[in-house]
Amino acid sequence: MTYLVVILGLLLLIFLHELGHFTAARAVGIRPRKFYVGFPPAIAKVTRNGVEYGIGAIPLGGYVRIPGMHRPAVRDFDLWIRPAMHEEAALVPIVQRIRRALDASDFAAARAELPALRSTLAQAPLAAAAARQADRAVRELDEGTGPDAYWRQRTWKRLVVIAADFNKDIVGPMIEAARQEIEGAGAVLHELVTVPGCYEIPLVAARCIAQPAVDGLVILGYIERGETLHGEVMGHVVHRALVELQFQLGKPMGLGIIGPGATPEQAMVRKADYARAAVRAVLRVGQLLKNDQ
């Protein structure tokens, strides 16, 4: 009897955990696709307002399917579509266009290929296993690029860290310090991008900060002291470009570039503090801007 109580209690906890996902998704405007007591296959099911509610045949807690839990990626799409593509050559150009779009984070372009993908699959004489995997590929692409995809929802504090890794012994610890500060603040490290040097930062920053899912940038790097004015000139150019980007898009950046003019010894002492301060700056300014909206 004791074992039965423990098992039932465990199943109840799992069910409540999934119910938490379901209610949280509905609270922020996301429509889950399925919610089950137990796992499919379904013993009974009904659809209400686009959500399939059901009782599963496997009594091991609960199951909720939320659209677009992960940002669509080429490798995931390839995993599901590859068997069908091997059987149907007409899929190749469509799949290639979708791959290019996903690789460029052009999710609207990837989504625009869905009608052609569905039409070609409907006419293709695929084996049962390949057809099932192709259906999964279509579903994941559809839900992952849709406006209510989980990963696309606004969750303020999604940050991108851009680091110039020319001086890896200094910038490497800066990246780790920034990561720890972001996690400690309850923010999200949306992406880590490394570039060869500080001069390349503004172009990459312009691409990153324009993404709707990104709330702010953390810029890390080190411009060392040299025998000429090259470092100072580069520092002024980079700083000015980053400031102009902030004004253009109204999103904050935390500047954690050491120098120009700092010696390696000075940079080693300052590296962690500069990175943490950059994270705190972008979060504080971002909150101020959010409060003004």
230 is an active site residue: yes
Q: What is the pLDDT of residues 223-279, one digit of tens each?
A: 877 666 566 777 788 999 999 999 998 999 999 999 787 888 998 988 999 999 999
Final residue belonging to a domain, choices 150, 165, 191: 150
How far lies 67's CA from each of 76, 104, 152, 156, 188, in Å?
Answer: 15, 21, 10, 20, 20
Q: How confident is the model at residue 11 (pLDDT cuts 50, 70, 90)?
A: low
Final residue belonging to a domain, choices 150, 178, 196: 150
Say whether both 227 and 114 belong to one domain: no
Q: What is the pLDDT of residues 119-163, one digit of tens each?
A: 999 999 999 999 999 999 999 999 999 887 877 765 567 899 999
Domain total in the chain: 3
- Residue 104, both tokens: 């460029």
Say whether both 106 and 134 belong to one domain: yes
Say whether both 109 and 20 belong to one domain: no
Say whether both 274 and 182 belong to one domain: yes
Position 48 scores a pLDDT of 86
From 70, 86, 230, 236, the catalytic residue: 230
Does the model's pTM come out above 0.85?
no
Say whether both 113 and 227 belong to one domain: no
Say whether both 52 and 118 belong to one domain: no
Say whether both 204 and 216 belong to one domain: yes
Label each residue of 118-175 as H, E or C.
HHHHHHCCCCHHHHHHHHHHHHHHHHHCCCCCHHHCCCCCEEEEEEECCCHHHHHHHH
Say whether both 115 and 233 belong to one domain: no
Range of the domain at 272: 154-292
